[in-house]
Amino acid sequence: MTMREPAHELDNPTFRLAVAQFDQAAEAMNLDPNLRERLKLPERSLIVSLPTRMDDGTVKVFTGYRVQHDSARGPSKGGIRYHLDVSLGEVAALAMWMTWKCALAGLPYGGAKGGVRVAPERLSRGELQRLTRRYAAEIFPLIGPDKDVPAPDVGTNAQVMAWIMDTYSQQVGFAVPGVVTGKPLSIGGSLGREEATGRGVVYVTLEAMKHLGLEITKATVAVQGFGNVGSNTARIMAEAGARVIAVSDHSVGLYNAKGLEIPELLRRYHTNGHSLRDTKMGDWISNEELLELDCTVLVPAALSEQITEKNASKVRCRLLVEGANGPTTLEADQILADKGVFIIPDILANSGGVIVSYFEWVQDAQRFFWKEADIRDRLHEIITAAFHRTLEFSKAQQATMRMAALMSGIDKVAQAHLARGLYP
Ligand code: NAD
């Protein structure tokens, strides 16, 4: 029996989006039908129950996932998300995008993703640490520097990575820094990893602006999400000379037509409980309004499926740079293309994170650490080369940037499968 539709346990809107994008690209590139079946589904999916002692003495059981989509080109790589909406289907979609992203950038990795269905902001530090250690212990058989290497994603950070690294190291009896990336510097983290995704977003934006004949100093920028990706994107865009007119987080959006004072905003955000609402800078706008602002560059950097058939016709940016994974639905893609919006797709735009994670993993393996300037230069070289390869391919194939990026990534993965053959 062949399985034409995703297995029902994976079925959710984000997984359907990832599979629909894959199908479109596979069709356009005439992908071998056997490989097409194979690459639609993840290689391996693990669901774990995580009993966790809460501070009041009760035990709560959380659900966690780790999905490895493909490992034909090397160890699988992908972040861990802590969010109440996490599901097997969402994690599987994110794992699939990681496969294409790593291949597109030319990194020797497959794709994976993990997640726990939890609202981390509602846990104490102790509860978060116990939950994380139990999760790390449960996924222990699947991860390792040569097998599968997690990193931060929504709701996780360097501290969570440190607890995972420690739990793994305790199990094997010696320190294994290379089991995760996005770690603190003190245990083998890399300079430049924290800001890497945002820096990559800015590097590809600058290349796209050159291509479109736009100038960064005349550009206005709106950023949805003010976490790792959004806040670093806003800061580095401002440093590059752009006017950042709006930012938002889950609580509120801030708008100032003259440009927000990003360094002061960041200072207030970090001292006022990590909420934009309490920074009192700019006028309040909703997340929906932010997406519809008249601006040069719009960067969704929060969650998936934010630009849909409902609001795409109201999007007024010239350039859409996808900091988040999967922020645009297929229907919205078509509407934006008809409006002439230039899209830098997620698997290209936000690949700075995994590129510098790769540098971190290489430094851990070599036990030799690089200067920050070298990291920035190498990130710039890899991501701008990927941008130009994608642009040239999109022109040659008369395809959108998204389809060109997907086709290039999928082709590299397909070549690896064809070279290795089917086991047994
Ligand atoms: P994060 O947890 O650091 O920040 C998420 C931000 O989104 C927060 O500011 C939060 O308030 C905001 N947010 C949550 N729900 C929202 C909503 N409904 N509307 C508006 N804002 C909302 O997460 P992050 O690491 O910055 O990840 C953001 C996106 O970037 C995700 O799609 C993630 O998969 C993607 N990404 C992250 C990395 C990385 O290195 N961290 C790399 C590549 C892609």
Rounded to whole angstroms, the Cα distance separating 242 from 212 reads: 16
Residue 264 lies in a domain: yes
Ligand 1 binding pocket mutation candidate from 67, 100, 249 (most atoms within 8 A of CB): 249
Rounded to whole angstroms, the Cα distance separating 329 from 313 reads: 13
Q: How far is the CA of 342 from the centre of ligand 1 (A)?
A: 22
Q: How far is the CA of 301 from the centre of ligand 1 (A)?
A: 5
Ligand 1 binding pocket mutation candidate from 84, 86, 197, 357 (most atoms within 8 A of CB): 197
* CATH label of the domain that carries residue 121: 3.40.50.10860
Residue 177 lies in a domain: yes
Task: Give the range of the structural domain holding residue 292, as residue numbers without chain letter.
Answer: 196-349
Nearest CA to ligand 1 atom 42: 353
- Residue 33 buriedness (CB in 10 A; 0-12 / 13-18 / 19+): exposed
Residue 62 lies in a domain: yes
Q: How far is the CA of 52 from the centre of ligand 1 (A)?
A: 25
Nearest CA to ligand 1 atom 13: 250
Ligand 1 binding pocket mutation candidate from 85, 303, 351 (most atoms within 8 A of CB): 303
Among candidate residues 40, 101, 113, 412, the one labeled active-site is 113
Tokens of 419: 């070279």
Among 349, 374, 398, give the residue marking a domain's end.
Answer: 349
User: 179 and 206 share a domain?
Assistant: no
- Please list the pLDDT of the chain residue by residue as tens digits (424 residues): 444 555 678 999 999 999 999 999 999 999 999 999 999 999 999 999 999 999 999 999 999 999 999 999 999 999 999 999 999 999 999 999 999 999 999 999 999 999 999 999 999 999 999 999 999 999 999 999 999 999 999 999 999 999 999 999 999 999 999 999 999 999 999 999 999 999 999 999 999 999 999 999 999 999 999 999 999 999 999 999 999 999 999 989 999 999 999 999 999 999 988 889 888 899 999 999 999 999 999 999 999 999 999 999 999 999 999 999 999 999 999 999 999 999 999 999 999 999 999 999 999 999 999 999 999 999 999 999 999 999 999 999 999 999 999 999 999 999 999 999 999 9
Decide: pTM greater than 0.85.
yes
Residue 2 lies in a domain: no
Rounded to whole angstroms, the Cα distance separating 394 from 168 reads: 43
Neighbouring residues of 407: CB distance < 8 A, sequence distance ≥ 6: 25, 28, 29, 393, 397, 399
* CATH label of the domain that carries residue 288: 3.40.50.720
User: 167 and 248 share a domain?
Assistant: no
Q: Which residues are bridge partners to 47 per DSSP? A: 65
CB 128 within 8 A of CB 377: no
Tokens of 306: 């934010």
DSSP-assigned states of every residue in 232-273: HHHHHHHHTT-EEEEEE-SS-EEE-TT---HHHHHHHHHHTT
Ligand 1 atom nearest residue 229's Cα: 26
User: 47 and 176 share a domain?
Assistant: yes
Rounded to whole angstroms, the Cα distance separating 375 from 364 reads: 14
Q: For tokens 């990291």, what's the residue?
A: 375
Residues in the ligand 1 pocket, defined by CB under 6 Å: 152-155, 197, 224-230, 248-250, 287, 301-303, 323-325, 350, 353
Nearest CA to ligand 1 atom 40: 353
* Model pLDDT, residue 7: 64
Which residue, 126, 123, 130, is CA-closest to 155?
Answer: 123
Among 328, 349, 370, give the residue marking a domain's end.
Answer: 349
User: 285 and 337 share a domain?
Assistant: yes
User: 176 and 256 share a domain?
Assistant: no
Q: What's the start-to-end Cα distance of the chain, in Å? A: 19
Nearest CA to ligand 1 atom 15: 250
Neighbouring residues of 29: CB distance < 8 A, sequence distance ≥ 6: 407, 410, 411
User: 219 and 176 share a domain?
Assistant: no
Ligand 1 atom nearest residue 303's Cα: 32
User: 261 and 319 share a domain?
Assistant: yes
Catalytic, 113? Answer yes
Rounded to whole angstroms, the Cα distance separating 303 from 326 reads: 8
Q: How far is the CA of 162 from the centre of ligand 1 (A)?
A: 20
User: 145 and 230 share a domain?
Assistant: no
Residue 219 lies in a domain: yes
Domain count, the chain: 2
Ligand 1 atom nearest residue 151's Cα: 40
Residue 21 lies in a domain: yes
The CA-atom distances, in angstroms, between 390 and each of 24, 311, 327, 405, 408 are 17, 27, 20, 6, 8
User: 251 and 338 share a domain?
Assistant: yes
Q: How far is the CA of 171 from the centre of ligand 1 (A)?
A: 31
CB 149 within 8 A of CB 178: yes
Q: How far is the CA of 256 from the centre of ligand 1 (A)?
A: 22
User: 208 and 138 share a domain?
Assistant: no
Q: How far is the CA of 230 from the centre of ligand 1 (A)?
A: 7
Q: What share of the chain is helix, strand, coil (3-state, %, to 5)?
A: 50, 15, 35
Longest dimension (CA), the chain: 63
Among 183, 215, 230, give the residue marking a domain's end.
Answer: 183
Which runs of E-coded beta strand occur in 118-272?
148-152, 220-224, 243-248, 253-255
Is the peptide bond prior to 51 cis by the omega test (within 30 degrees of 0)? no
Residue 373 lies in a domain: no
Ligand 1 binding pocket mutation candidate from 229, 266, 305, 347 (most atoms within 8 A of CB): 229
* Count of CA atoms in the C-beta half-sphere (13 A) of 113: 27
Strand 59-70, strand 44-53: pairing: antiparallel
Nearest CA to ligand 1 atom 31: 324
User: 246 and 165 share a domain?
Assistant: no
Nearest CA to ligand 1 atom 41: 153
Nearest CA to ligand 1 atom 14: 250
Amino acid at residue number 289? E
CB 364 within 8 A of CB 175: no
CA-only gyration radius of the chain, Å: 21
Neighbouring residues of 8: CB distance < 8 A, sequence distance ≥ 6: none
* Model pLDDT, residue 278: 85
User: 149 and 255 share a domain?
Assistant: no
Ligand 1 atom nearest residue 302's Cα: 7
- Residue 183 buriedness (CB in 10 A; 0-12 / 13-18 / 19+): buried
Residue 87 lies in a domain: yes
Which residue, 137, 144, 116, is CA-closest to 60?
Answer: 116
